[in-house]
Structure 1
């Protein structure tokens, strides 16, 4: 039986000197965890693992070390007296991946048959990046800044994996296009930041919007900073300045502060657009690709996500209701009043089918359909020649 926490491993009595908010965001785990002890530039890295995996504890520890090292190199920051990373399985072989960042720690939950695939590697990089954004920039500020804390972290997760050789340019474009597609096809894309903040805790339809909007905004901002400075600066300069300012005791992230720092590298019109994108929810134009001249923007058609029935009734009551007569759901045979006993939906993703099992007097019946609605034009990146 092992104990692992934000302030030590296997010490039954622990002490900590620092801000009380760091205790409130601390991680504590206990149980049948296996402890791996490693170092990064002489600083302790503790890995707590439970469950049986397709990789060894040593292989997992090396992977964690490598990704953390790449991100510390990016930030030019090795000011870490201690870090804990925990890994535990979900009670299923496939499906969801999860992670959360804490004081001096982050935790990960993976399906039991997880491998070192993109979802796992990107989750590792994403959660570790939160150590800086937002925790070394003044701390978490809630949904009003999720476009930055989540969205910019999504952007840098893939960018650092690309820069570090974890993925090729083609793979980077593929993952970027996937995120662009979700943003462009989102039915709530133009919700204002104020409205989003109010609705975030109670309306699941807007939960993904901050991350989607912020990721595209980071692409736009990096591209325009490079254009204005003739490639002498990039979004990296904004992030480094925010990190430096975050060391000040009274510094807190705000929209005005982010715009002020980013605005040093933008024209007056670009500063106006930046505020519109953030506050008003104005649709963000997909920028020219900043990292390689052989990547161009192209326009293509894509289907909008359409469940074909009332989403809230399905989510909360597991009842089919409000089926649209011209929808794929109706064509598949779904009708109002059916009781759903099993459900699989990849929300806002038209590439994966909706699967439902409904219960009737003569037994259970399975239905499957593509959640496709009307098509619309979106912009995507295309690799047009070898770089």
Structure 2
């Protein structure tokens, strides 16, 4: 992106931030990453109005960070009488006082790690953090406004750029809520920035130049997906989107991928292995997180929200995959691959019959089973209920039900099972009540009809296999030798040996794609081939129609 365009964005953002109403309260953040020391200095100036008591806090925990406040060091305050209670700083002050805070964020690492991507990190080249993991923001004290004029200033070396979920540039401003400040990504340093505008919707990508794709190509992909989802949802007004992408860990072998991401206020944060390609895994993750704009942000779940994750996460996945295909962005082969992957994993999940209450209690402690169950259940129900609605003479009934709930969410309704069930019976008919009770309330195993994706894809019962490489793949790649070979596995049967030196490999997390390993033994190269298959079971499999 050219510097003149960026300068225009910065000036526009700053002008917005400085256009204050008579009664507005202003939050001014100054962020100074210290790339040589691996820390970031933060200053906050809060211009209060009309009261004598205010408080700020930092989110107590997020992701794998148990005590965020412990990372905030060298805290200095002025403007009133302050008292700290845990992660909250309360203050008694004169009316209209300006409160000032300054501190240093000192994380435990200088590099992002896969088991702790939420941690704010200052590397030698960039800073990346989520607002909730390092920024003090106003607490909801009596008299505290909902919206603030927020100004953000970065102090950076020459040649550095910056972006956050609500503005691009070194100096930006906007009217946002305190929770939006927390629910944003903040990225600065040696960045590549690109911006695409499609059908009146603007998408910006900011990232270090560490991937096999460019910021421009990612922005073009994201703009197409955003446009497809907004068109499907008949959304006339859609906010500008800022996407951040940062590298985590070491580069992976060709054909392998590792990534995670989260939807944010007007944005999306992606963590991905260096040198990764812009593939269908990235497209799926982005489409899923962006669809949370409707299912999760406009329609919010009543607490405890994990009890309705079958809808919030499961139906988000259903629509993300479906829109990628029906918009023409994905081929039938790619769509079938992803649907079959979820069908296979659902069939193998020992927690697939967990009730919503059990998911609520064990979502984080058993992430690979109970945590995946609501995603899988909602996707299966989307496939099942759409074809059932068609058979009842309502080909668009499922979508009508979904959009009705979104519209009620815009009006302030919080999603519960009761609201979802009631709207379903009202929109789809009496048959929906027994379906809901069976599969959502009692958590019976969802059966997906073989004609669920007709006429574009056809389904049939087949034996499907769990993905099982037969050895510790991650550790083996790291040490470049076979580690943890499992006796009786397909890998062992094919002749792989514990301790074999790895000189080359092709392995994808798909039991139907052959693994090819090049190993060295006694000075010569040996090729080992096998399918990474574990236990087999019967399940529906979809293929493109002939």
- 141-150 or 194-203: bigger deviation: 141-150
Of 195, 201, 217, the residue aligned with 2:381 is 217
Q: What TM-score results when the alignment is normalised by the length of structure 2?
A: 0.57
**What is aligned with 1:343?**
none
1:127–1:369 CA distance, 2 compared to 1 (3 A): same
**Greater strand fraction, Structure 1 or Structure 2:** 2
Of 196, 205, 220, the residue aligned with 1:47 is 205
- Which secondary structure does the structure 2 equivalent of 1:28 belong to? strand
Q: Distance in 2 between matches of 1:200 and 1:260?
A: 26
Q: Distance in 2 between matches of 1:227 and 1:304?
A: 33
Q: Distance in 1 between matches of 2:353 and 2:202?
A: 45
**What is aligned with 1:16?**
175
Q: What TM-score results when the alignment is normalised by the length of structure 1?
A: 0.78
Matches within 5 A, 1:334-373: 350=511
Query: For the Cα contact (< 8 Å) 1:194–1:279, is it kept in 2?
Result: no
What 5-or-longer segments of structure 2 have no aligned partner? 1-159, 472-482, 499-506, 516-527
**What is aligned with 1:379?**
540
Superimposed CA distance per residue, residues 37-62 of structure 1 (whole angstroms, 9 cap, x where no aligned partner): 33344454332121233333322222
Q: Distance in 2 between matches of 1:347 and 1:55?
A: 20
**What is aligned with 2:165?**
6
Query: For the Cα contact (< 8 Å) 2:401–2:428, is it kept in 1?
Result: no
**What is aligned with 1:166?**
329
Matches within 5 A, 1:144-223: 144-206=307-369, 207-223=371-387
1:108–1:371 CA distance, 2 compared to 1 (3 A): same
Which structure would you say has the larger RCO, counting Cα contacts within 8 Å and 6 or more residues apart? 1
List 4+ stretches of structure 1 deviating above 6 A: 305-309, 325-334, 346-349, 367-371
Q: Distance in 2 between matches of 1:84 and 1:348?
A: 30
Q: Distance in 1 between matches of 2:404 and 2:466?
A: 39
Query: For the Cα contact (< 8 Å) 1:186–1:348, is it kept in 2?
Result: no
Q: Distance in 1 between matches of 2:433 and 2:167?
A: 45
1:368–1:150 CA distance, 2 compared to 1 (3 A): farther
Q: Distance in 2 between matches of 1:252 and 1:197?
A: 17
1:41–1:183 CA distance, 2 compared to 1 (3 A): same
Q: Distance in 1 between matches of 2:339 and 2:191?
A: 36
Higher Cα Rg, which structure = 2
What 5-or-longer segments of structure 1 have no aligned partner? 310-318, 339-345, 355-366
Superimposed CA distance per residue, residues 334-356 of structure 1 (whole angstroms, 9 cap, x where no aligned partner): 9xxx9xxxxxxx999655899xx
**What is aligned with 2:451?**
289
**What is aligned with 2:398?**
235
Q: Distance in 2 between matches of 1:374 and 1:291?
A: 26
Superimposed CA distance per residue, residues 10-56 of structure 1 (whole angstroms, 9 cap, x where no aligned partner): 254634244x4333322222222233233344454332121233333
1:63 and 2:205 are equivalent in the alignment: no
Matches within 5 A, 1:4-153: 4-12=163-171, 14-18=173-177, 20-90=178-248, 91-93=250-252, 94-138=256-300, 142-153=305-316
Q: Distance in 2 between matches of 1:63 and 1:204?
A: 30
